[in-house]
Chain A
Amino acid sequence: MALLQRGRCCGAAATTSLRRLVRGPQGRVCGRHVCSQYRASSSLPDEKKEFLQNGPDLQDFVSGAFSDKSMWAEYKGNLKRQKGERLQLPPWLKTEIPIGKNYNKLKSTLRSLNLHTVCEEARCPNIGECWGGGEYATATATIMLMGDTCTRGCRFCSVKTAKNPPPLDLNEPYNTAKAIAEWGLDYVVLTSVDRDDILDGGAEHFAKTVSHLKERNSKILVECLTPDFRGDLKAVEKVALSGLDVYAHNVETVPELQRKVRDPRANFKQSLQVLKHAKKVQPDLISKTSIMLGLGETDEQVYSTMKLLREADVDCLTLGQYMQPTKRHLKVEEYVTPDKFKHWEKVGNELGFHYTASGPLVRSSYKAGEFFLKNLVEKRKTKVI
């Protein structure tokens, strides 16, 4: 009640002061009466004051106190979307704000080298973690070639779209290779936007970047996350034979949801063919793909998709939670629990994938270097034994 009265008084005073303003230089604006848009804390009711006093403050949020894993199992919020609602983010998907020396260093290096990363363009939640480097101290960054504008508009991706993006920078392969070699990364992921406006979809550009890079530093491990090149297998071959170590192409979702989730120019069969063909022309390659969960797929669909992928001799699989990047994109249908992700990891390992990276925040190139090296090291150990 007191608040309302005070509000009215403020209002009346403001009207008066505005009138004074209009009247001219003689009329003074009385400071005391200028109505502030923001309520002073002293005008809050006592219960609110107490809540603010005893509740969480900025320190708690910044320190990560709310990412306590033991609280995940107790989360009682809704995980499956009902009609008309928008799900709230469960605690296991809350990430820390990226800060730190490594992160900042990487960011400024990228800008100075004029490199784009999909980490920034697609608003990846892991940016702080990957750029910071993990237990093997392998900082992974996913460089985006051929610009930051794609020719397709998929309903899960927030990368900029245009019908005719700016033409390719012909110096990009050389400059990118130089920059990455100088950077001293151990494992780099090269990806690109879809460029349906270019005849070969950008395959030559991609391949050149890889070969330049390997020339400068033959020890660096290169993973290429390629588009589907509209099913042009010659283009796939060009990239597969460029000297890379891991050929990745994402199927994104189960076959039943392809039409809804991806651009209509993409489909499951085409994507599977890309992966199969890469292996066919270069059998030493390691092939990799990724699926997003939480778009409305059923367990049976996920399992059968995994089987199809294994039958196509795909070596590595990553499973992650779909998160709605902007309001123009698909809503999250379900937040899959960390335990469920662990289940899929087990299934993947049982089906015989080289490795299955599965977790809510896992993305195609999430800690790709880490996983790859860890697996390689372990496999080598067993051979020795």
Chain B
Amino acid sequence: MSSKLFGFKSTVSHPLPIHRLQVQHSSADRVTVHFINRDGERLTAMAKEGESLLEVVVNQNLGIDGFGACEGTLACSTCHLIFEEDVFQKLDAITDEELDMLDLAYGLTDTSRLGCQVCVKKVMDGLTVQVPMEVADMRRGLEVGKQSK
């Protein structure tokens, strides 16, 4: 039988599960996104075009604490992310609803956006975003610094 139909090669001895076949075919639409977590750790994910950054974090179980509490309904600011200047300029315009919630976020910067409102595009391949620090983390960092002295 034609091996193209199932993606089998004649040398393969066991069949590939169907979902793996689909991933192989759509690898071209994957965009690489890097998240710099609060502790400095770099988390890399392969996002699908059109997915919001919140969806990327949640669906791929990235270890970012308390991210997306309102499930992307613009009722919190827990998916607050800091972008690089050049990428920030290219993002879709911010709505008033997003601005209202973003204003409440801790550690707001000029290149901050809410991750649930930013959808991944092909041109963002290799994007790096920073997860902002929390008040509590900053305080704890200072305390640890004091203790180590």
Contact = CB atoms under 8 A, between A and B. Distances in A.
B71 A328 contact: yes
A11 B67 contact: no
A153 B105 CA distance: 12
A375 B66 CA distance: 38
Interface in A144-172: 150-155, 157, 160-163
Given A14-B14, A259-B136, A264-B106, A330 B66 contact: yes
Interface string B47-83: 0000000000010010101111111011111100000
B5 interface: yes
Nearest to B76: A153
A153 B69 CA distance: 5
B67 to A, nearest CB: 6
B74 A163 contact: yes
B6 interface: yes
B75 A22 contact: no
Given A12-B13, A152-B76, A296 B70 contact: no
A331 B136 contact: no
B15 A259 contact: no
A22 B15 CA distance: 15
A12 B5 CA distance: 17
B1 A260 contact: no
Nearest to A259: B135
Contact of B61 (A15, A256, A327): A327
Interface string B71-98: 1011111100000000000000000010
Interface residues of B, number: 35
Contact of B1 (A19, A155, A162, A257): A19
B77 A161 contact: no
Interface residues of A, number: 38
A256 B71 contact: no
A160 B91 CA distance: 28
Interface in A1-39: 7-8, 10-12, 14-15, 18-19, 22-23, 35
Contacts of A18: 1, 6, 15
Contacts of B71: 153, 160-161, 328
Interface string B132-146: 001111011000000
A11 B14 contact: yes
Contacts of B41: 84
Interface string B85-127: 0000000000001000000111000000000000000000000
B76 A256 contact: no
Nearest to A160: B71
A162 to B, nearest CB: 5
A149 to B, nearest CB: 9
Given A8-B13, A155-B69, A328-B66, A257 B136 contact: yes
Contacts of B68: 328
Given A10-B14, A264-B104, A328-B68, A15 B73 contact: no
A150 to B, nearest CB: 8
A193 to B, nearest CB: 11
B76 A263 contact: yes
A259 B106 contact: yes
Nearest to A254: B136
10 contacts: A12-B13, A161-B76, A162-B70, A163-B73, A163-B75, A263-B76, A263-B104, A264-B77, A328-B58, A328-B67
Enumerate the 6 nearest inter-chain pairs by beta-carbon distance, A residue then B residue, closest first: A11-B14, A153-B70, A153-B76, A153-B69, A155-B66, A161-B70
Interface of A: 7-8, 10-12, 14-15, 18-19, 22-23, 35, 83-84, 150-155, 157, 160-163, 256-257, 259-260, 263-265, 296, 327-331
Interface of B: 1, 5-6, 8, 13-15, 39, 41, 58, 61, 63, 65-71, 73-78, 97, 104-106, 134-137, 139-140
